[in-house]
């Protein structure tokens, strides 16, 4: 993807774009675990509990086996998830600093890149401005069409938009992605409308083929 440079304010947002944010490493790991390997987590948890119970009631060696399942199995699952899912562009864009921009045919994940030239990063200092409010930054756009998005799922502090084939990732939208709650509500309503419209078009095309 082509890299570009813009002057941006990290905390600025409006109806068409979020502020700059990123998913924390712990939240990212939890999302990978429960989105792609929940059955493995349940299986490991069950085996570990059985081992601990047998260790208490039958033989202490069973407890050692149960703890080994946790200490060896879980890191292996995390490593697999990181390399198979976490490094895909449709997953890792959530982990790096970015802003989401509403496009006509999809969402643009504007990934902020570190500028190797200090004079570019600190250009506002020369004019007496605050570099945390406005910086010159390189960025790269990652585009995801609305047709690849499933219906978003809301949690207590965020919304998750699952991506369908050929993608395998997701788009994370925290509750504070917009400075105005009305902008967040409008943005989610737009995503829901796009999902309904494209789902209707897909069903119509299927009916026409039949």
The answer on 178 and 135 residing in a single domain is yes
Q: Indicate whether 189 and 136 sit together in one domain.
A: yes
In a domain, 91, yes or no: no
What are phi and psi for residue 52, nearest 5 degrees?
A: -65, -40
User: What confidence score (pLDDT) does residue 192 get?
Assistant: 92
Q: What's the confidence (pLDDT) of residue 33?
A: 87
- Model pLDDT, residue 127: 41
Determine, yes or no, domain membership for 157: yes
**What is the model's pLDDT at position 139?**
86
Q: What is d(CA 90, CA 142) in angstroms, rounded to the nearest whole number?
A: 8
Tell me how far apart the alpha carbons of residues 112 and 19 are, in angstroms, rounded to a whole number: 12
Q: What predicted TM-score, i.e. pTM, was given to this entire model?
A: 0.77
- Based on the fold, state whether residues 201 and 101 are members of the same structural domain: yes
> How does the average pLDDT of the chain come out, rounded?
83
Domain that residue 31 falls in: 27-86
**103 lies in the same domain as 135:** yes
Number of structural domains the chain divides into: 2
- Report long-range pairs for 189-193 (Cβ below 8 Å, ≥24 apart): 190/102, 191/146, 191/149, 191/152, 191/161, 192/151, 192/152
Ranges of the chain whose pLDDT falls below 70: 1-8, 115-136, 204-210
Residue at 192 is within a domain: yes
């Amino acid at each position: 993807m082509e890299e570009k440079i813009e002057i941006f304010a990290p905390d600025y947002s409006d109806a068409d774009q979020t502020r700059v944010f990123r998913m924390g490493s712990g939240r990212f790991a939890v999302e990978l675990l429960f989105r792609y390997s929940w059955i493995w987590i349940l299986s490991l948890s069950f085996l570990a509990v059985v081992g601990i119970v047998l260790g208490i009631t039958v033989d202490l060696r069973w407890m050692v086996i149960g703890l080994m399942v946790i200490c060896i199995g879980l890191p292996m699952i995390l490593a697999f998830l990181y390399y198979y899912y976490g490094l895909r562009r449709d997953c890792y864009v959530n982990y790096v600093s970015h802003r989401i921009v509403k496009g006509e045919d999809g969402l643009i994940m504007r990934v902020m890149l570190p500028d190797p030239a200090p004079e570019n990063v600190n250009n506002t200092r020369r004019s007496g401005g605050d570099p945390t409010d406005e910086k010159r930054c390189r960025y790269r756009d990652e585009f995801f069409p609305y047709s690849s998005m499933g219906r978003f799922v809301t949690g207590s502090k965020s919304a998750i938009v699952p991506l369908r084939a050929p993608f395998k990732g997701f788009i994370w939208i925290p509750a504070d992605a917009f400075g105005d709650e009305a902008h967040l509500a409008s943005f989610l309503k737009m995503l829901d409308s796009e999902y309904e419209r494209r789902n209707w078009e897909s069903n119509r095309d299927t009916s026409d083929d039949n």
